[in-house]
Structure formats: structure tokens, C-alpha cells
Amino acid sequence: MNFSPPSRNLPGAILAAAVALALAGCAVGPDYVRPTMDVPAHYKESGPWKQAEPKQIDSNHNWWEAYGDATLNTLMQQANQANQNIAQAEAQYRQARAAADAARAGFWPTVGASAGTGRARTNTNGSNLGDSYTVGLQSSWEPDVWGSVRRSVEAGDAGTQASAANLAAARLSIQATLAQDYLQLRVTDLLKDLYARTTAAYARSLKLTQSQYAVGVALRSDVALAESQLKTAEAQAIDLQAQRSQLEHAIAILTGQAPAGFTLAAAPADPQMAAKMQANLPAIPAGLPSDLLERRPDIANAERNVAVANANIGVAKAAYFPALTLSASGGFNSASLAQWFDTPSRVWSLGAALAGTIFDGGLRRAHTAQAVAVYDAAVAQYKQTVLGGFQEVEDNLATLNVLDQESVAQGQAVKASQLAEQLALSQYRAGTATYLTVVTAQTLALSNERTLVQLVGRQLVASVALVKAVGGGWDASQLSQPDNAAQAKNNNTAN
């Protein structure tokens, strides 16, 4: 190795290092400012539509426990641990953390080591054949004069937080879907129980018409009507099993299991179960619209992506400025291993290089324009996500409000139709009404009861959707702790 004397290069290297340190506080590109939005003071549909005390929905509570179903709690634990979409999002979070760590490595110099041996013939001052042995350390460092590394680290950290929010959003989405599927399955069980009771009643009515026909009191058409009504109800009951099977299969996949090995037992028959589920329907506090910006992980994800795009503008603009590289090396170079540590064998060097691009055909300008466009797109996506969040909350508040009123009216309709059915049967037995009157009353009663059960199901599904719309108790402050999302894989499963 040939190295320049220290008296020539050392002062220049020291001067270059001093200049680099003096400029270390400079970082090109815009500093991040969170995009502003016009946020309403309150929700349009947030009227006092529910008298019950709202259940607590925050990060210290598992929101699904408000539904009071032990089976649902167990399924949630399985989903949090085994759902593959959550596992994928968690792996993507670790990937983002590793990318941020890689960007942070740019702050530090690189150090390498080398060793070698060789044998060569030279013709200087005659032909010479000799061996050479070398060993040394090399180091280079590019000071972050223009803030390119700092902006890259800023982008990496924001990207990590965006990925952490995406993990929380994926978990909340899976939890909400699982809760909705499970509650719909239980509503299907209620409908199956309703049809079981209805077909039993229709079978008794068929026997009544057959007895009436046998003694010549009823017409053959009465028997045919009763039989047709019974078979129609039985067919509708069979169709419910297909719906239940599909929901059961979906729940199996959400909990990370194959449908073939997963079974959910039917809920115990209880004619009052629909009323009990409706009475226990939890009221979800919607909070204020401004809270939504901190409580929804998808909004936090979109906002952090804006921060990533903003930092990348600085990275692109830093390319306009020259790069300063400081280098140093030292070691031993000798024709004999025995002479390695002698003073003449010691070699070293210090150096500094300043390099910049003079002409690139507009490449840097294009990269900067691209970074600005990505930022503008991220801002638009963030604002659209916020607006979408407002819509989801309003939609579900309105839905719950309407369904609450509708279920009251439907409950009254059920009572009236049940009374009409009883009166029609009594009149038929007394011979003062035709069986067509009975069939009409029974069909209306079944339709009203089925509608009421379906209303309960819609209320349950809408309440879960509202939980998801307001963030499920998540809070953006969780992103401030670097290890928080790494621990999120096990979050909500220990309780």
C-alpha cells in the first residue's frame, strides 16, 4: 500500500470534519406539520337515543366482553393468537422496524478489516521475486451534512408507527368481523328455534284440520292449506342451516382453524333469548368527532404515511448537495511476517472527498417532484380516511337510532299478530272462521317474529360496527412507545 504523509492530508481531513460538524444541524426539506381539517363540534346523529349507561370502551378493557358471552370471549382470544391476517400485519410491522434501524445505521461510520498475502516479480532495479503480507483496518464516514440520513430516519420511524397503526387496524377489523359473524350465528340459532316452535304449532294445526275433515266439518282444501304451510316452514328452517354453516366456517377461518375441525354448539332453546339479547345490547359512547383522529388506527396509519412522505421530500432534496466522505485506514505491510510490527511496516492514511453531481438530465428534479406528489396524495388519503371515519360513526349512530325505534314498533306488531293467531284458531275450532283466516294469521305472526329477531341481529351487528368506527378503545398515544406495537401481538389476549 502507498499512503501520503500525514503532514499533507491530516489538516485537510480535520478541517473537513470541522465543517461537517458545523453543518450537522442543517436538514433540507420541509419540517412535518400535521394536515389540518375542519372537524365538526359534534356528530349529527348523536342524539340521546339510548337510556342505558354506556359501557367502558378503552385500551384497558376488551370491548367484546360488553356482550356478556363467554364463547365470544374465547373465540376472540383464539383469533388474536392465531389469525393469519394479524400475523401478517405483525410481520410487516417488524419489517418496518428493521427498515427504520437500517436507516439509523447511516449515522455511523463503516469499519472493515482486511488481510492478504501475495508473491510477485518486479523489474525495478533488476528482476526481484518477493512475498508481501498485509493486514489493516479501513473506515469511512459520510457526515449527514444536509440531513439526508436524518430525514431517512424520520421517514423510517414514521413508517414504523404507520405499520404499528396498521397492525392495530388489522386486529380491530378481525375482531369486529368475528364478533359480527358470531352474533349473526346466534341470531340464526334464535331463528332456528323460532321455526322449530312454529313447525310444531303448524303440525298441531294440520292434525286439527285432518280431524275436522275426518268428521266432515272441514274441507279437503283446509287440510291442503295446513300441509302446505307446514312444509313451507320446514323448508325455510332447512335453509337457515346453510346460513349457519357458512357463518361457522367463517368463524373457523378467523380463529386460524380449518372448518373441518371446528364446531360451535347451538345456543340452548329459549323463547325469551331475543328479548334478553336486546335488553343487554351495550350502548357504545361515540365521543366527539375530534377524538376520532386519535382513536382510529386507520386514521393514525394514514397520518403517519403523510409524515413518511414529508420526510422523503427532504431525502430527495438532499441529493442536490455534494456528499462529503471522510476515510481513514491503517495497518501493516511487509515482505516478511517477522517484520510486520517494525516501524517501517506501519502504514496509514487519512482522506476527505467532496463529490456532487453537476448534470443528471433532470433526475433529481424529477425525484423531488415525485416525492412532493406522493406527499400530496398521502394528505388527500389522510383527509379521505378521516371523512370516511366520520361517515361510519354517523351511519351506525343513525342505524342504531332507527333500529331502536323500529324494534319497539315491531315488538308491538308481534304481540298483535300472536293475539290474532290465537283468535283465528279459536274461531276455526268454533266453526265461525275459515282455515284461510287461520293461515293468514299464522303467516303474519311468523313473519313478524322473524322480523323482530332479525332486527335484534341488525342491532348487534350495528353496535359492533360502531365500536370499530370509534376505534375499539385504541388510542394513538400507543404509537409513542417504540416497543408498544411489538407487544401488540399479545395485546387483548391475556385478559
CATH number of the domain located at residue range(s) 1-28+110-143+325-355 in this protein: 2.20.200.10
* Residue 342 CB burial class (10 angstroms; 0-12, 13-18, ≥19): exposed
Sign of CA dihedral 32, 18, 5, 131: negative
Residues 6 or more apart whose Cβ sits within 8 Å of residue 246: none
What's the pTM value of the predicted model, to 2 decimals? Answer: 0.85
Residue of 75, 476, 42 whose CA lies nearest to 289: 42
The tens digit of pLDDT for each residue in 279-325 reads 888 877 778 888 899 899 999 999 999 999 999 999 999 999 998 88
Torsions phi, psi for 92 (to 5 deg): -65, -35
**15-17-21-24 Cα dihedral, nearest 10 degrees:** 120
- The Cα–Cα gap between 135 and 340 comes to 9
Structural contact between residues 471 and 296, judged by C-beta atoms closer than 8 angstroms: yes
**pLDDT value at residue 14:** 47
**pLDDT value at residue 157:** 94
Structural contact between residues 93 and 483, judged by C-beta atoms closer than 8 angstroms: no
- The Cα–Cα gap between 395 and 466 comes to 9
Structural contact between residues 367 and 316, judged by C-beta atoms closer than 8 angstroms: yes
Structural contact between residues 462 and 399, judged by C-beta atoms closer than 8 angstroms: yes
Residue of 77, 252, 242, 230 whose CA lies nearest to 181: 252
* Helix 84-104 × helix 70-82 angle, to 10°: 40
**pLDDT value at residue 47:** 54
Residues 6 or more apart whose Cβ sits within 8 Å of residue 66: 55, 57, 282
Residues 6 or more apart whose Cβ sits within 8 Å of residue 381: 302, 305
Looking only at the bridges linking them, the beta strands covering 128-141 and 323-334 are antiparallel
The tens digit of pLDDT for each residue in 142-173 reads 898 888 999 999 999 999 999 999 999 999 99
Helix H or strand E encompassing 238: helix 220-254
In the chain, CATH 2.20.200.10 sits at 1-28+110-143+325-355
CATH number of the domain located at residue range(s) 31-108+144-321+363-490 in this protein: 1.20.1600.10
In the chain, CATH 1.20.1600.10 sits at 31-108+144-321+363-490
Q: Write b or e for each residue in 387-418: b if 16 or more Cβ atoms lie within 10 A of its Cβ, otherwise e.
A: eebbebbbebbbbbbebbeebeebbebbeebb
| Cβ atoms within 10 Å of 489's Cβ, excluding its own | 18
Mark the ranges of the chain whose per-residue pLDDT is less than 50: 1-11, 13-15, 18, 20, 22, 48-56, 482, 484-495
Structural contact between residues 466 and 400, judged by C-beta atoms closer than 8 angstroms: yes
